Structure 1
Amino acid sequence: MFPIIDLFAGPGGLNEGFSSVRDERGAYVFKTLASFEMDSLACQTLRLRATYRELVRSGGDLRPYFDYIEGKQTWQSVLTGDFKEAYLAAKTHVYQVELGEDNRPEVDNFIERQLGPENERGHWALIGGPPCQAYSLAGRSRRTGDESFASDHKHFLYREYLHILGKFKPTIFVMENVKGLLSSRNGDSSMFQTILEDLKRLPGGASYEIRSLVVDAEPRELDPSDFIIRSEEYGVPQKRHRVILLGVRSDVAGRLPRSSLKRADGPVTVRAALQTMPSVRAKTSKRRPKIDQDWVAVQNKALDSVRRMDSVSKHEPLKAGTLAMDEYEAWIHEASLSAPIQHDPRPHMVSDLARYRVMAELAERLGKSPKYTDLPVSLHPEHSNVGRERTPFTDRFRVQVWDTPATTVVSHISKDGHYYIHPDPQQNRSFTVREAARLQSFPDNYFFEGARTQQFHQVGNAVPPLLSKQIGDVVADMLGAL
């Protein structure tokens, strides 16, 4: 097996995909030696998932794992036998630490212990995605006018990735970041070009050929846009666009043919991802009976007007990919679960429930998500700038449409559900953690530790595991050729 080390691991999306890769004999190709993450709850998620993998690979008893994630047993009661042995083995590679210059010595020491002596190391891969807040469009807009933004250390956390490349010289690396990296600037410099230039000046004499996973071309012929991977083109039910660099160490690059991801035969839609989920309804928060009654009356009046509309949809449903949907279903399905886990909807204000219901009805007729300005005035949110000319964020409420891939699931889903309204008007709510996880292509048996807010945060910060699996297949083929 080829070792992998995962930096800025989050809840383990990249790791999950790589860890699922098997060769033609069915043997696992990769083994994780180290996962570095600063968030304590994400580390708990990583340890639990690593325990599951240890049990699968060793043929151990999986029942305690399922009893724990279904809430049938406590952590203390399952921490015995095979489960305890797998947990003790798994947790050795999860290292909670904030990557940065101050902590480089302890991180380097841990990697050295995990990889073993330099003269005994074989081929291995480094994977990970430095935090993206400094590069995302939303993050930059929030910092407009902030003089400290240019010096924010988050701009330069990629250097921790480059430090490990220079010191430990993995055979291949995979670096992921947001699409906004291509347009992000620090002062007069393009952050993307700065990273490419820094990759040419690694310490220790290491050098890498930077390849695209979607365009088969010589590195000198690649444009920045050639590094964008659109997840919906690869069987993920979500329009998540990310910049991903594939680096191949120069001393072996000439022996490895360029490989690219194979596009799916069509999209996997929100309907395909969620159609087997049980129907659930949200509870209301801050219940006040009189207000509830008023809003129900307002909602019903608005629904009457919507239902009198003729269907005006001009959007033909996308032709779904048959093979892609079969592969997606096989990837997420778990027969050992009696019911979906982490599928409890969060409570909503009754006024938001009224908007959600009417907007979902409108979306069915329009074939796309309406803006809140399409609602009757009685359902407009009570903000001072609503109704003004050039009102910002008219899409602050968004219905995810049945017959297309979802919009990007981001960590803001932990704050509210306005951007992730369920397309079924009868359910009248935002997505649950499990539905968001399905759109991210996490298997149904993947459990996120922490309270619901932290679970949403982890899901939104992850790399889609099904996409990662396909990247892992490419890397496995390359390493197998050495």
Structure 2
Amino acid sequence: MATPSAIRQKLARLQTGAKVRVLDLFSGCGGLSLGFHAAGCEIAAAVECDPDAARSHGLNFHAGAKEHTEPRDISATPPAKLTKALKLGHQSLAFDVVIGGPPCQAFARVGRSKLREVADHPEAFRHDPRARLYIEYLEYVQECAPLAVLMENVPDILNHGGHNIAEEISDVLESRGYRCGYTLLNAARYGVPQMRERMFLIAYRKELRQIVDFPEPTHWVDLPSGYEGSRAVALKLLSRDLFADNGHYVAPPEADKALQPAVTAKQAIGDLPTIYARKLLSDGSLTRGARRLNVPIAFTRPRSISQYAALMRSWPAFQAKPSLYDHVIRYLPRDYELFSRLQPGDQYPQAYACAEKMFEERLAQLRKQSVAPEAGTAAWRRLRDGIVPPYDPNKFPNKWRKMEEDWPARTLMAHLGKDSYSHIHYDSDQARTISVREAARLQSFPDGFVFSGTMNPAFKQIGNAVPPLLAQRLAETLIRKMYAGVSMEEPGSRIDVKEAVG
């Protein structure tokens, strides 16, 4: 339970210029953690139930120490148990900031009054398992008494099951001594080569006397209609009381067209080694089977690389090695030739039509040789299945997409762990889906960041993550506010964060 004494001790500690200590809940491999690490914080601990993601986090932030690579179910790991296992002392004194993104499915159809009930009753979650994950998150905040909280989630959380969960969470935190605000941010406007829209909620202890605001954009991109439409729908369907005096929504900072253009896909991955899928297939180098991340590929530096690629190669504490070990792709022999024919921006309906044209071309070739199978026969179906993908283009219009080289990538999803058709490489000569390392680049993970497991788990970890560059921008804003609060400056004043954290 948070106590005034714990809060005072943390405020006094930060007044000395000590590093901010971070606890990352539902951490995944560590996108948020990396952003806070880059902003000068100490990543003290994480809770993650997926074994591969937990190991990735431990490898990158704790040198693979056993106690930090262990997967933990938050429902079975109360704060006191975590801090005891990691030898961090009492939970109320161990952390200054709690970050993370609990899954939003838990609160479908759970209203504000119900959320308050479960939040205020330590045993209530046993009677309503839908609330469990969020309640565990709120319980950690209650027990660990952080000076600040950062929560991330999908935009739909603003209208999930008919409820604005971000507003409901803000109400609970407000009742526990925090000042809250939340908004929607797009990663492409913060230097990430990906148009990823997410909700972010920040809360400060009232003792800090800080208002909640969000970092100014650093890049400009005119978002496609689908992104602006999704944002408009999320905001339109918010609860009616959102814009009341006690609402916690904060309008996102405006992006100025005078800012530098958003980082493009080619600027993000164009310097990585080429992988010619059809060539590898023909010479037998690319075969079916698990893709392990242990085969080195020489990683030379071209004469000229983008500013973004240079950052990914030289990120402090995560610099690139002489070889890449995760530049691996999927085995998709049916589709490589099809990928080569697609135009940038093409999606599944265009791919399906192109594949049918390829099938007709192949039939015409076989007819010239008088060996074409008759329509509808088993041989005809086998030939067609070897060229044309099986999905109905009317039901799966967005299943595939060929990236545009001069535009940021579309949102990477956890579904990358199952297939990568949503991100087909823009280079028709390479004719393939993106590699694990290319996905990491598009998510702004530096080249020295290690992913545990084989290819599919690595893709899933990347798709689930918060882009580290955006996380860093948020962390810098949050830390600046914290140090301003403990230095007794006026709310909103600016201080030298690097000097404060040493």
Evaluate the alpha carbon distance shift between residue 95 and residue 33 of structure 1 in structure 2; reply closer, same or farther with a 3 A threshold.
farther
Q: Is the 1:135–1:181 contact (alpha carbons within 8 Å) kept by the matching residues of 2?
A: no
CA contact (8 A) 1:373 1:394 kept: no
Which whole-Å deviations, capped at 9, do the CAs of 1:161-200 have from their partners, x for residues lacking one? Answer: 1111122221000001111212321xx5443443333334
Compared with structure 1, are the counterparts of its residues 419 and 163 closer, same or farther at alpha carbon in structure 2 (3 Å cutoff)? same
Tell me the residue number matched to 1:314: none
CA distance in 2, matches of 1:154, 1:378: 49
- Match 1:184 to one of 146, 154, 160: 160
Residue 109 of structure 1 pairs with residue 81 of structure 2: yes
Shift of 1:131: 2.5
Separation (CA, whole Å) in 1 of partners of 2:337 and 2:442: 25
Distance 2:128 2:426 in 1: 39
1:4 corresponding residue in structure 2? 22
Q: Render the CA deviation track for 1:376-403: whole Å, top value 9, x for unaligned.
A: 63358453745xxxx1222322101111
Q: Provide the secondary structure at the position in 1 that maps to 2:42.
A: strand
1:9 positional shift: 0.6
Does residue 383 in structure 1 map to residue 353 in structure 2? no
Instruction: Give the letter for the 2:148 counterpart.
Output: I
The TM-score normalised by the length of structure 1 is: 0.66
Amino acid at match of 2:449: Y
Decide whether aligned partners of structure 1 residues 166 and 384 sit closer, same or farther in structure 2, where only a CA change above 3 A counts: closer
Please give the secondary structure, in 2, of the residue aligned with 1:401.
Answer: coil
Which residue of structure 1 aligns with residue 411 of structure 2?
408
Q: Distance in 2 between matches of 1:417 and 1:453?
A: 10
Distance 1:153 1:328 in 2: 44
The one-letter code of the counterpart of 1:422 is H
Q: Which residue of 1 aligns with 2:168?
A: 194
Distance 1:417 1:268 in 2: 21
Distance 2:396 2:313 in 1: 34
Q: What do residues 45-86 of structure 1 show as CA deviations (whole Å, max 9, x unaligned)?
A: 11211245xxxxxxxxxxxxxxxxxxxxxxxxxxxxxxxxxx
1:231 has 2:187 as partner = yes
How many Å separate the matches in 2 of 1:9 and 1:246? 17
5 Å-filtered alignment, 1:333-352, equals: 333=314, 337-350=321-334, 352=335
The residue type paired with residue 329 of structure 1 is A
Partner of 1:261: 215
Note if 1:434 corresponds to 2:410: no
RMSD: 3.1
Given that 2:23 and 2:95 are in contact with CA atoms closer than 8 Å, whether structure 1 keeps it comes out as no
User: Does 1:157 pair with 2:133?
Assistant: yes
Cα distance in 1 for partners of 2:130, 2:279 equals 38
Picking from 79, 84, 98, the partner of 2:73 is 98
Alpha-carbon spacing, 1:157–1:353, altered in 2? closer, same or farther (3 Å): same
Asked whether 1:130 is paired with 2:105, we answer no
Q: Which amino acid aligns with 2:323?
A: A
Deviation by residue 1:358-392 (Cα, 9 ceiling, x = unmatched):
11xx22xxx66573355263358453745xxxx12
Q: 2:54 aligns with which of 13, 19, 43?
A: 43
Q: 1:274 aligned to 2:237?
A: no
- Matching residue's letter, 1:47: G
Cα pair distance change 1:447/1:132, threshold 3 Å: farther
Deviation, 1:117, is: 4.3
Contact 1:236 1:267 in 2 (8 A): yes
Q: In structure 2, what is the Cα distance between the partners aligned to 1:433 and 1:109?
A: 35
2:460 to 457, 461, 465: 457
Q: Any conservation in 1 of the 2:336–2:432 contact (CA below 8 Å)?
A: yes
SS at match of 2:403: coil
Task: Tell me the CA shift for residue 156 of structure 1.
Answer: 4.5
CA distance in 2, matches of 1:385, 1:93: 45
Given residue 210 of structure 1, which amino acid in structure 2 is its aligned partner? C
**1:279-315 alpha-carbon deviations (Å, 9 max, x no partner):** 102369999x9xxxxxxxxxxxxxxxxxxxxxxxxxx
State the secondary structure of the residue aligned to 1:211: strand
Moved more, 395-404 or 109-118: 109-118
Q: Aligned pairs, how many?
A: 353
- Aligned partners of 1:332 and 1:442 also within 8 Å: no
Per the alignment, do residues 134 and 270 of structure 1 end up closer, same or farther by CA in structure 2, a change over 3 Å counting? farther
Amino acid at match of 1:32: I
Cα distance, 1:157 vs. partner? 1.4
The residue that corresponds to 1:146 in the other structure is none
Question: What letter corresponds to residue 158 of structure 2 in structure 1?
Answer: L
Task: Could you tell me which runs of 5 or more consecutive residues in structure 2 were left unpaired when the two chains were aligned.
Answer: 1-18, 109-126, 219-259, 285-305, 359-386, 487-502
Does the aligned pair in 1 maintain the 2:54–2:69 contact within 8 Å? yes
| 1:170 aligned onto 2:142 | no
SS at match of 2:274: coil
Distance (Å, rounded) in 2 between the aligned partners of 1:241 and 1:173: 20
Equivalent residues of 2:21, 2:97 under 8 A apart: yes
SS at match of 1:438: helix
- Identity, in percent, stands at 28
| Residue 99 of structure 1, CA deviation | 1.4
What is aligned with 1:139?
none
Shift of 1:32: 1.9
Where 2:203 maps in the other structure, the secondary structure is strand
The Cα of 1:154 is off from its aligned counterpart by 6.0
SS in 1 for 2:179: strand
Q: 1:228 and 1:128 mapped to 2: Cα distance?
A: 16
CA contact (8 A) 2:62 2:68 kept: no
CA contact (8 A) 1:11 1:43 kept: yes
Partner Cα separation in structure 1 for residue 396 and residue 80 of structure 2: 45
Equivalent positions of 1:73-92 (< 5 A) are 87-88=64-65, 91-92=66-67
> 5+ residue gaps in structure 1?
22-28, 53-86, 137-150, 213-226, 290-324
Aligned 8 A contact 2:271 2:309 in 1: no
Q: How does 1:23-38 map to 2 (within 5 A)?
A: 29-38=40-49
Give, in whole Å, the separation in 1 of the partners of 2:431 and 2:309: 26
Q: Assess if the C-alpha contact under 8 Å between 2:420 and 2:433 holds in 1.
A: yes
Q: Distance in 2 between matches of 1:280 and 1:286?
A: 11
What secondary structure is seen at the aligned counterpart in 2 of 1:348?
Answer: coil
| 1:473 aligned partner, one-letter code | E
> Counterpart amino acid of 1:116?
G
The aligned counterpart of 1:372 is: 351
